[in-house]
Amino acid sequence: MLTLRTLNLRNNDLGKVLAKGGYKRYGTIKLQNVDLSKNGIHSLLFIVFEGHSYLETLNLSDNVLSDFSPDVSFMVRLKVLDLSKNKIKYFSQLSTMQNISRIAKQTHLKIDLSHNILECSCPSLVFLRWMFDNQELFYNKDSYKCKSDNGTIIVLSRLQNTVSVLQKSCASYTVLTIGISVLVVAVILILVGGLLYRYRWRLRYAYYMTRSKYKSDKLVNTEMTYAYNAFISYSEEEKDFVINECIPNLEEHEHLRLCIHQRDFIPGEEISQNITNGIHNSNKTICIITRSFLDSYYCMFEFNMARMESIYSREGHNILFLVFYEQILPRELPLIMLELVQHQSYIEYPDDLQGNVVFWNKIKEAIE
């Protein structure tokens, strides 16, 4: 094998063998002419011609190759590459085309692709453009034919015109593909965004409950003991009402335990985490409803976290109780808050002596 110059393996049915391996050991050999025609070859390993640095003629005609993509970088002396009478559509590997162009500059390589029905499509455009740029490499190039996507057979005698038309068609196809892709991505993002928005409070509640290492098997029951009788949710403008009236009437007179954010939140902990923990550790959540409350991000956060606590940790039992500290029209309320009002889970602050007695008794009943 080391001194062999010509190897004729024509008509030996080596297709299956060459699809799995080569016909020689690794290392450089001095073969100059190799004939592998009429062997039913349908594919070739990338390394099948490794070490063929002396090869001048390679005959792969009369096979069933649909592509030609082995490593030809070793074939620095190659002069003839016969790929006629195959089923080659195009060369799929850019590296193969680049290596052939490089070798051709040194050896004036000629390629025979006659009696192959090439493919005129967007995937083959790079190959056809390469053929046009290297027309001197091909035998009888004017007789080559290609098949378009609609099944039309085109004679490549006017290769430049064929490439030009295909480029315009593929450009439109690319724009259409990009447009459809962008539209699909946009629809998916809108759907995902819509779902995230719809379930935003559920997701946030689950996140903060997970962070506080709340275990789902701790289900609520009537015997559960809470750290606080009520979590008081209020805006900064109602601080005096909470300090001067809520604490004296409920904590000092009724001996109830209230969770007041200015007093009971853990320093250094995130506000959102403090809120979620405070609500979870309280039997009820009392919201002091004012216009300032409705405009406050954290007040509405507390309201919605209490809703999620009712649904997902208290077996659907409502823990929210609304105290309207000022007159607010129904149209000014969020829909979910208006629903609670319609179910009478609220009380109005009377601001008179007799009404105050009833008011604080109602609050006590709600949170005990």
Q: Kindly report the three-state secondary structure assignment for every residue of the chain.
A: CCCCCEEECCCCCCHHHHHHCCCCCCCCCCCCEEECCCCCCCCCCCCCCCCCCCCCEEECCCCCCCCCCCCCCCCCCCCEEECCCCCCCCCCCHHHHHHHHHHHHHHCCEEECCCCEEEECCCCHHHHHHHHHCHHHECCHHHCEEEECCCCEEEHHHHHHHHHHHHHHHHHHHHHHHHHHHHHHHHHHHHHHHHHHHCHHHHHHHHHHHHCCCCCCCCCCCCCCCCEEEEEECCHHHHHHHHHHHHHHHHHCCCCCEECHHHHCCCCCCHHHHHHHHHHCEEEEEEEECHHHHHCHHHHHHHHHHHHHHHHCCCCCCCEEEEECCCCCHHHCCHHHHHHHHCCCEEECCCCHHHHHHHHHHHHHHHC
User: Would you state the pLDDT for residue 223?
Assistant: 47
Which of 107, 137, 172 represents a domain boundary (last residue)? 172
Same domain, 221 and 158: no
Q: Which residue has the tokens 């604490």?
A: 247
Give residue 30's identity as a one-letter amino acid code: K
Same domain, 221 and 137: no
Which of 138, 172, 206 represents a domain boundary (last residue)? 172
User: Would you state the pLDDT for residue 2?
Assistant: 67
Same domain, 226 and 145: no
Same domain, 227 and 291: yes
Contact by Cβ (8 Å): 294, 235 = no
CATH code (residue 80): 3.80.10.10
Edge-first strand listing for the sheet containing 117-120: 117-120, 145-148, 153-155
Q: Is 339 among the domain residues?
A: yes
3, 184, 357 from 56: Cα distances, Å = 15, 52, 109
Contact by Cβ (8 Å): 139, 114 = yes
Q: Is 22 among the domain residues?
A: yes
Same domain, 164 and 312: no
CATH code (residue 244): 3.40.50.10140
Same domain, 163 and 304: no
Q: Is 206 among the domain residues?
A: no
Tokens of 140: 């009888």
User: How many other β-carbons are positioned within 10 Å of the β-carbon of residue 112?
Assistant: 20
Same domain, 166 and 27: yes
Please give the chain's pLDDT, 368 residues, in tens. 567 899 999 999 998 888 877 766 666 788 999 999 999 999 998 888 888 899 999 999 999 999 999 999 989 999 999 999 999 999 999 999 999 999 999 999 999 999 999 999 999 999 999 999 999 999 988 899 999 988 999 999 888 888 988 888 887 666 777 888 898 998 999 998 888 877 776 777 776 666 655 444 444 444 458 899 999 999 999 999 999 999 999 999 989 999 999 999 999 888 999 999 999 999 999 999 999 999 999 999 999 999 888 888 887 788 999 999 999 988 899 888 888 888 767 888 887 767 788 888 888 888 87
Q: Is 62 among the domain residues?
A: yes
**What is the per-residue burial (b if ≥16 Cβ within 10 Å, else e) of 47-73?**
ebbbbbbbbbbbbbbbbebebbbbbbb
Count up the domains in the chain and report the number: 2
Q: Is 308 among the domain residues?
A: yes
Same domain, 35 and 166: yes
Same domain, 295 and 220: yes
Which of 149, 172, 195 represents a domain boundary (last residue)? 172
Q: Is 115 among the domain residues?
A: yes
Give residue 22's identity as a one-letter amino acid code: G
Q: Is 313 among the domain residues?
A: yes
User: Would you state the pLDDT for residue 340?
Assistant: 81
Q: Is 192 among the domain residues?
A: no
Same domain, 228 and 165: no
Give residue 298's identity as a one-letter amino acid code: Y
Range of the domain at 285: 216-367
Same domain, 110 and 251: no
User: Would you state the pLDDT for residue 25?
Assistant: 63
Contact by Cβ (8 Å): 209, 276 = yes
Same domain, 355 and 268: yes
Indicate the pTM of the whole model.
0.52
Contact by Cβ (8 Å): 286, 367 = yes
Pairwise CA distance, residues 106 & 112, whole Å: 18
User: Would you state the pLDDT for residue 284?
Assistant: 93
